[in-house]
Amino acid sequence: MDNPFPYRLYLVISEENCAGRPLVNVAESAVRGGVDVVQLREKNRSTMEFLQKANALKEVLDSHQVPLIINDNLEVAKQVGAYGIHVGNSDLPPSEIRKKWTTPHCLGYSIESLEQLKSTEAKVSDYFGVSPVFGTPTKTDTVTEWGLEGIAKIRSLTSKPLVAIGSMKKENAFEVIKAGADCIAVVSAICQAQDPQRAAAELRNEIERAL
């Protein structure tokens, strides 16, 4: 089977992270700069609002052939026809998602402890979010701060794609890929940037340099 997750630069976006700019504009700029997969994360919105944003975003991403992943809302993911869904430890487990949605192209799962790698949930997931690599203000409920050693350790225990998230920026993208990550996921480094396209291009450049 083909790798369902061949991506390198992963944008995690929500309206509140976009510094007052329209979410779809920031996402499109980022895609022009080299983002090749986008996750919509709207933890504080109603399902209806989330769905409206997802539909608008998907339309733009489809025109660039960039897949949309929905964070932790199976109903939105199914209704919008998303490429996949990403869940953490307090969300609906991957094994349950597989029962309720038989057609996702990819299912991502956040890894916060090494024990999780042996779980059923890990087995049925397509890629792992290594969360967080470095401490981050956007994620306050984390268990482990992995660091470069943590990425290398997880890499030695699984062949599944690893997406590094947590204070990722152009200054550390190179060493994180070298440590064993396949993909860099960013929030603030692109969403808060004055020029999201340029920020994405600089990150992409560091990733390609490390490969």
Do 136 and 121 contact (CB within 8 A), yes or no?
no
Compute the distance between CA of residue 177 and CA of residue 161 in angstroms, rounded to an integer.
Answer: 11
> What are the phi and psi torsion angles at 96 (to 5°)?
-70, -40
Catalytic residue among 8, 41, 45, 204: 41
**Residue 139 annotated among the catalytic residues of the structure:** yes
Regarding beta strands 162-165 and 127-130, do their DSSP bridges make them parallel or antiparallel, or are they unpaired?
parallel
Catalytic residue among 14, 110, 131, 167: 110
**Residue 198 annotated among the catalytic residues of the structure:** no
Strand-pairing partners, residue 11, are 38, 186
N- to C-terminal Cα distance for the chain?
23
Catalytic residue among 32, 78, 98, 139: 139
**Residue 63 annotated among the catalytic residues of the structure:** no
What are the helix (H) ranges across the chain?
Answer: 23-33, 47-63, 74-80, 94-100, 120-123, 147-157, 170-179, 188-191, 196-210
Q: At what angle do helices 170-179 and 196-210 cross, to 10 degrees?
A: 30
Q: Which residues contact 49 (CB under 8 A, 6 or more apart)?
A: 42
From residue 185, alpha-carbon distances to 6, 79, 102, 119, 137 in Å are 13, 24, 26, 23, 15
Residues labelled catalytic: 41, 110, 139
